[in-house]
Amino acid sequence: TTKIPFRLNQNQALLTFEDEEVAQRLIKMGKHTVNLDNKIADVSVKPFTLDVGIKFELHVTMSGKKINVSEVPDLSIPEDWVRDKLELNFYKSEQGGGGEVENVSYDKQSRTAVITFLRPGAANGFVSCTKYPFFVNGRCYRLSVSPDINVHLEKFQLYCGISKKTILLKGIQEVEDDEESVQDMIEIHFQKPSNGGGEIENIKYVSKGVTWVCFEE
């Protein structure tokens, strides 16, 4: 689930309550009189709509039979010979594990290859091996080796909505107290059941400028 940013403007506050019924009750009341440093402030409570968010499941599957090989040297020999040498090089190799090779798919233009082993799990030994020695005509080259990974998305959803547990306060008057003190006074007011409030999970007040508050759900 992606985090959804909300722009909180100057002299506004966001309050998230433990119980969504408290937030809905305060919204229905609409107007509230808050004591800020012996100054009476009439503030309004509003619901607010979040921007579009995304939910999805990312499934990653690593093949136990295939490895991807790149940086195959450009050799002046036929492509069939290159495939044969790649097969021999990865057959029962000491460094990666390897085993009998079922197929070698080689692309000369991109200098890449896909090695498919016959035995499931034979490719697992190459996961931690990023550079692999490749011996041809008495020379040793280094091949880049990576696991063959299949990635796909499931349950992809776009959504937007109104936060049920969070309220937006507007019309907070500027006072001489610092931002943290004003935030404390707002929190005290809206925690009291006599004011229609309840237990607060989180609060954010901005006296100057703007800030971004992120919602996870």
Residues 128 and 77 in one domain: yes
Total domains in the chain come to: 2
Res 95: pLDDT: 53
Res 214: pLDDT: 83
* SS3 state of residue 193: helix
Residues 62 and 142 in one domain: yes
Residues 23 and 92 in one domain: no
Residues 61 and 149 in one domain: yes
Q: Which of 153, 170, 205 is the last residue of a domain?
A: 153
Residues 62 and 48 in one domain: no
| CA 106 – CA 144 distance, rounded (Å) | 14
pTM exceeds 0.85, yes or no: no
Residues 185 and 167 in one domain: yes
Residues 11 and 35 in one domain: yes
Res 89: pLDDT: 85
DSSP state of 195: G
Residues 63 and 136 in one domain: yes
Is residue 121 within 8 Å of 64, Cβ to Cβ?
yes
CATH of residue 33: 3.30.70
Range of the domain at 74: 57-153
Res 198: pLDDT: 92
Residues 171 and 191 in one domain: yes
Residues 102 and 149 in one domain: yes
Is residue 16 within 8 Å of 24, Cβ to Cβ?
no
Q: Which of 117, 137, 153 is the last residue of a domain?
A: 153
Res 94: pLDDT: 52
Q: Which of 153, 168, 195 is the last residue of a domain?
A: 153
CATH of residue 145: 3.30.70.330
Is residue 196 within 8 Å of 43, Cβ to Cβ?
no
Which has the closest alpha carbon to 8: 211, 215, 161? Answer: 211
In this predicted model, what pLDDT tens digit does every residue of 112-165 receive, in sequence order? 999 999 888 888 877 777 788 888 888 889 998 988 999 998 888 887 777 889
Residues 91 and 134 in one domain: yes
**Mean pLDDT per 10-residue segment, the chain (217 residues):** 83 92 92 82 87 85 90 89 90 66 92 91 79 85 89 85 87 79 90 91 88 81
Residues 98 and 148 in one domain: yes
What would the DSSP string read from start to end of 31-84?
A: EEEEEETTEEEEEEEE--B---EEEEEEEEEEEEEEEEEE-----SS-HHHHHH
